[in-house]
Amino acid sequence: MMEDILNKFTRFLYLKIYRMYPEYPLLYPTLFVIDMVGYSTLETRREVALAKYLIKVLRGELSSPAFLEELKLYTPHYSVERRWRPPLLALPPARTNLLRDATLTRTLRVLNAVAYHVDLFSCILDEFTRICYKL
């Protein structure tokens, strides 16, 4: 329901900004309209919020023993070639779709993607958020 409300609002906002919106047969795709008005989907916002929470836990700004217990960091081995860099955080092996789409697994995927672009432990939180929204 929240997604429907967001879609209707962004279509209304698009109409107010650009002073036109095509009628039924020529509707714009929802993702196009959301991007044109400068918003992001609720799924993207949720994943970025989870990633920011986990970054704060990793940096020691927040205390969450349950999350820290589940995290496993990869450490580079001297024999690993420089061109292949393993991800920073290990993903738990997913035998089911439920575990593959679990909150922690999705968040770890986002953090691994961002870790290729910026150092997670020393970057500013605003820079981290900006890169998350780009990805």
pLDDT digits (tens, 9 = 90+) for 55-78: 888 888 888 888 788 788 777 666
Q: Where are the domains of the chain?
A: 2-36, 54-134
Say whether pTM exceeds 0.75.
no
Of 130, 128, 131, give the one whose Cα is nearest residue 54.
128
Q: Is residue 48 helix, strand or coil?
A: helix
Q: How far apart are CA 43 and CA 45, in angstroms?
A: 5
Q: Is residue 95 helix, strand or coil?
A: coil
Distances (CA, A) of 3 to 12, 13, 91: 14, 15, 29
What would the mean pLDDT of 19-34 be, rounded to a whole number? Answer: 74
